[in-house]
Structure 1
Amino acid sequence: MEHRFEGNRDKKASFYQKTEGRQSRSPSAIVIGGGFAGIAAAHALKNAAFQVVLLESRDRIGGRVHTDYSFGFPVDMGAAWLHGVCNENPLASWIGRLGLPIYRTSGDNSVLYDHDLESYALFDGDGHQVPQDLVEKVGKVFETILEEANKLRYETNEDMSIAQAIKLVMERHSYLRQEGLANNVLQWYLCRMEGWFATDADNISLKNWDQEVLLPGGHGLMVRGYRPIINTLAKGLDIRLRHRVTKIVWGTKGVKVTVNHDKTFHADAAIVTVPLGVLKAKIINFEPRLPDWKEEAIDGIGVGTENKIVLHFDKVFWPNVEFLGVVSSSAYGCSYFLNLHKATGNPVLVYMPAGRLAYDIEKMSDEDAAKFAFSQLKRILSDASEPIQYLVSHWGVDENSLGSYSYDAVGKPREYFERLRIPVDNLFFAGEATCNKYTGTVHGAFSTGLTAAEECRIRVLEKYGDPGSLEMFHPAMGEVAASISVPLLISRM
């Protein structure tokens, strides 16, 4: 990888750390955050002949996309799916060009299911597998419950949570109530829905939960992880790792960005791509402070947590399905494991707690978290062998993320996502939480990075009084011509 990290950055540092005077130079921008949005923005601006520096607080790029290789093969500890396995996906050209295989887990473009129903194997707490016909029957009941819940949003102007809506539906339509094992399976479907939004059902907006735009083609796992794409986009960029931004001074004369409370960088504009959780925590001091409408959006959008506890075994002892689930009388008591062996051939199960359960597990040590995940597995597969290695994510408490991804909170308008994206003078914003179409997705973050770069380019060049250069930039593909289309490598083993 050809990043210019701290050891060989002196040539660029002199420009960015000037405090006075305009040199005869290219237009400049500072990108804050090295996730997909930030890398996409920096890549696009570099192609537009901007001087760009990217400041990243971690010791790696990728943000909430993190492909770990410590097992000897790639495992995505953050984002792992491509939602919308199709050429319309903004990332498809990069995936195709790099020849990265995709394992399609669902052909259904659904907010509820990123796996087809037949790919589940559910078990009760005693280790007995739930009959597949019951799993599918209750799945259809759950869809009916949500259809009835959606009718409630037209009865009142007031929003309510998904949990409240489901309770009302059950009171009105007693035939939808489930008993015994069927109720436990229903709670598991609710648990999976909470996993999609990374929060509990009593936090999810009834009015807006299904407003995300879903691209065609279903959902697919990135078999080799997302790192090859982010590395390709980052090639040749001026990236400063371990540079935690603490203050941004912005205005008509440019921006001054303070890192680690002492070092400063100057440029014509800045693109802020840090996670929503970081903005909520006010780790970055904006001077002057952001407008009220912008702060209202930051405060009003929800941010949830879903973590991964990855268990590596020396052999496969589980059924050849994509998802193993444990049903329970409450959604909190349910759990599920993603079977990576099905997609990648590696003997790995990934336990994926979300919402309050994820929050509770984050209080544990990594060792205890791995033991807890294995105990859930042992409940359903008594012959399970101990894992030989494990990995644990901490997206909710990691100071660089403070959450996994955004969701529509109860009583908050969906327009908040667009408000968060709208620039303020020469300050631009990108990231999954600024994408009102593809919220919470990697391609959503990527597309907002390109949008912010284009807006920044136009704003800065207008300031320079050079309207003739406004047409020169085509950021969507960077160095890849837009006409090039390489077929996606899709499998379903």
Structure 2
Amino acid sequence: AKLRIERKTEIQSFDVLIVGAGIAGLSAAEYLVKNEIKNVAVLEAKQRIGGRIYTRFVNGNPLEMGAQWIHGAEIVNNVFNLAVQNRLINDEPCETLYGPALLPGGKFVNTHLVNQLFKEMENIEKVKRDDSLEMEMEKEFETIAENFATKDRDVLKKVFNFYKIQKMFDEGDELNKITSKSDYLAYPCDLDITGGLNRLVDAIAFNIEELRILKNHQVLNIDYSESNILVKVKTGDEIKYFKANFVICTVSLGFLKENSASLFTPRLPERKLTAVNRLVFGRGVKIFLFYSNPFWKKNNLLKLKLGLSDEDYAKGYNDWVYRVGYFEEVVDCPNVLLTTVFGDVAKEVEPMNEFEINKKLTNLLRNYTSDYTLPKADQIIKSEWITDEFVLGTYSAPGIDSDAGDFDIIGESLPDSESPRLLFAGEATSRTHYSTMHGARESGVREAMRIVDQIQRDYWKC
């Protein structure tokens, strides 16, 4: 059924409407405004902007509940360049896996052994095959293990199981759900910005008039059946309608998976829906542990890695504590540790009470350090992206049955590329930089450029 309104209703008209004030939507708006397309509005369902960039301040210190790193301190990374321009980067070191590796019972793993394994694994990750990422990594590990002394292989396998948990964090979900084939293009050096990523969001929003960003405006439907697109919006208890020549939709892949049937009129083409369903939208939880009296010295833990047996790794499909692979110092908060849980069990952690999480993580730390006097954390704070109705997960990855082209298909304009009216941006539309802030920013600029080109073509047709 069409959304078109029968009765007389006041409708605001815009040249461009952007759905979502994450980094993709804000970057699109910024580009349009800078190119003299001023009649633009950004519709944001929440009371805040930034999307999956969300800096929460606790005792004056910034905690990144969502995106945390600039993936690539390189001039080809638009987010890195933006951070440099706005003097947001100081002398932060590249994020690494440095730090001790432990086995249960307080057993240290030889650092040289750990580093050698990681180096070998990074080399094989460049190989693209048809298996799941987990199966491919397991096969390659068997080959690598032959280069190590027999006496070291049991310990090596336990460190490898940590590496798989770390890889789940990188990819966003269980490795058996993700293909080893990918066109992802990695840049060297992950940077953890001090002072809060919210400053990055503010730097983009500064170039957009505040009146153009409409918070608490939840888009219910986008009717693109005619050249003027009609958008139905809920704000508080009120329903509003907007018209636009162009709409850029930047909602998350998780939101698309859950809501595409009701969000678009007419229904999205099967080709696009298939691509949406074949990609994975990750499930993960960040957990911050606060201590009034930290039991570590600054830069002593860095990233404390936990090696685990095959048996314990297998338990992780049903028990979330076996998907905790590390505890990491938080750059801006010297009394806080960060850990994460990704995969099938992550959804169990979000609704759990902090007392239960604290108890399990404390027992884990005590078991690995062999210090049963370690204190419980004074406070636990966790992210809640899986249950966030406007996000429903973390970030995208190529599913086991997907093709790299699926990212492109989600990003295709409707009705077609020759006459784009409904456009799509967001990290899940980036074939080479999915799951990243720079992928999201690139995609927003890409679609804004497409609109600028189309407006110029339409002008010369007149």
TM-score (norm 2): 0.84
Tell me if the contact between 1:135 and 1:185 (Cα under 8 Å) persists in the aligned partners.
yes
**Cα distance change of structure 1 residues 404 and 172 upon mapping to structure 2, 3 Å threshold:** same
Tell me if the contact between 1:56 and 1:242 (Cα under 8 Å) persists in the aligned partners.
yes
Instruction: Quote the offset at 1:191 in angstroms.
Output: 1.1
**Cα distance change of structure 1 residues 102 and 188 upon mapping to structure 2, 3 Å threshold:** farther
User: In 2, distance between residues paired with 1:18 and 1:461?
Assistant: 29
**Cα distance change of structure 1 residues 250 and 388 upon mapping to structure 2, 3 Å threshold:** same
For the residue of structure 2 that corresponds to 1:63, the secondary structure is coil
Letter of the aligned partner of 1:445 in structure 2? A
Tell me if the contact between 1:252 and 1:426 (Cα under 8 Å) persists in the aligned partners.
no
Instruction: Quote the offset at 1:61 in angstroms.
Output: 0.8
Q: Which moved more, 1:245-254 or 1:76-85?
A: 245-254
Unaligned runs of 5+ in 2: 1-8, 317-321, 415-419
User: In 1, distance between residues paired with 2:360 and 2:456?
Assistant: 55
For the residue of structure 2 that corresponds to 1:69, the secondary structure is strand
Partner of residue 462 from structure 1, selected from 441, 457, 460? 457
Partner of residue 227 from structure 1, selected from 189, 198, 212? 198
In the other structure, the counterpart of 1:430 is 425
Q: Per-residue CA shift, 1:231-276, capped at 9, x if unaligned?
A: 1212323222222211100144311111238321111111100100
User: In 2, distance between residues paired with 1:370 and 1:90?
Assistant: 38
Unaligned runs of 5+ in 1: 1-16, 107-113, 154-158, 469-493
Letter of the aligned partner of 1:455 in structure 2? R
In the other structure, the counterpart of 2:328 is 338
Letter of the aligned partner of 1:225 in structure 2? G
Letter of the aligned partner of 2:295 in structure 1? F
Where in structure 2 are the equivalents of 1:70-85 lying within 5 Å? 70-85=58-73
Report the identity percentage.
Answer: 26
Where in structure 2 are the equivalents of 1:441-460 lying within 5 Å? 441-460=436-455
**Cα distance change of structure 1 residues 60 and 373 upon mapping to structure 2, 3 Å threshold:** farther
Tell me if the contact between 1:71 and 1:389 (Cα under 8 Å) persists in the aligned partners.
no
Q: Per-residue CA shift, 1:420-455, capped at 9, x if unaligned?
A: 112113001111111112111001101111111111
Where in structure 2 are the equivalents of 1:211-226 lying within 5 Å? 211-216=183-188, 218-226=189-197
Instruction: Quote the offset at 1:74 in angstroms.
Output: 0.9
Alignment of 1:41 with 2:32, yes or no, is no
User: In 2, distance between residues paired with 1:171 and 1:230?
Assistant: 44
In the other structure, the counterpart of 1:28 is 15
Instruction: Quote the offset at 1:94 in angstroms.
Output: 2.3
For the residue of structure 2 that corresponds to 1:399, the secondary structure is coil
User: In 1, distance between residues paired with 2:327 and 2:71?
Assistant: 19
Instruction: Quote the offset at 1:140 in angstroms.
Output: 4.1
User: In 2, distance between residues paired with 1:173 and 1:437?
Assistant: 28
User: In 1, distance between residues paired with 2:224 and 2:103?
Assistant: 57
Instruction: Quote the offset at 1:138 in angstroms.
Output: 3.1
**Cα distance change of structure 1 residues 173 and 338 upon mapping to structure 2, 3 Å threshold:** closer
Partner of residue 164 from structure 2, selected from 161, 177, 190? 190
Q: Which moved more, 1:301-310 or 1:374-383?
A: 374-383
In the other structure, the counterpart of 1:472 is none
Tell me if the contact between 2:62 and 2:333 (Cα under 8 Å) persists in the aligned partners.
no
In the other structure, the counterpart of 1:268 is 245
**Cα distance change of structure 1 residues 437 and 102 upon mapping to structure 2, 3 Å threshold:** farther
Alignment of 1:411 with 2:388, yes or no, is no
Q: Per-residue CA shift, 1:136-167, capped at 9, x if unaligned?
A: 233345446657xx37x3xxxxx321222344
Q: For this pair of structures, how many residues does the alignment match?
A: 424
User: In 1, distance between residues paired with 2:40 and 2:361?
Assistant: 43
In the other structure, the counterpart of 1:97 is 85
Q: Which moved more, 1:380-389 or 1:279-288?
A: 380-389
Alignment of 1:389 with 2:379, yes or no, is yes
TM-score (norm 1): 0.79
Q: Which moved more, 1:412-421 or 1:121-130?
A: 121-130
Tell me if the contact between 1:32 and 1:56 (Cα under 8 Å) persists in the aligned partners.
yes
Letter of the aligned partner of 1:352 in structure 2? T
Tell me if the contact between 1:18 and 1:266 (Cα under 8 Å) persists in the aligned partners.
no
For the residue of structure 1 that corresponds to 2:107, the secondary structure is coil
In the other structure, the counterpart of 1:322 is 302
Alignment of 1:124 with 2:114, yes or no, is no
Tell me if the contact between 2:61 and 2:333 (Cα under 8 Å) persists in the aligned partners.
no
Where in structure 2 are the equivalents of 1:49-60 lying within 5 Å? 49-60=37-48
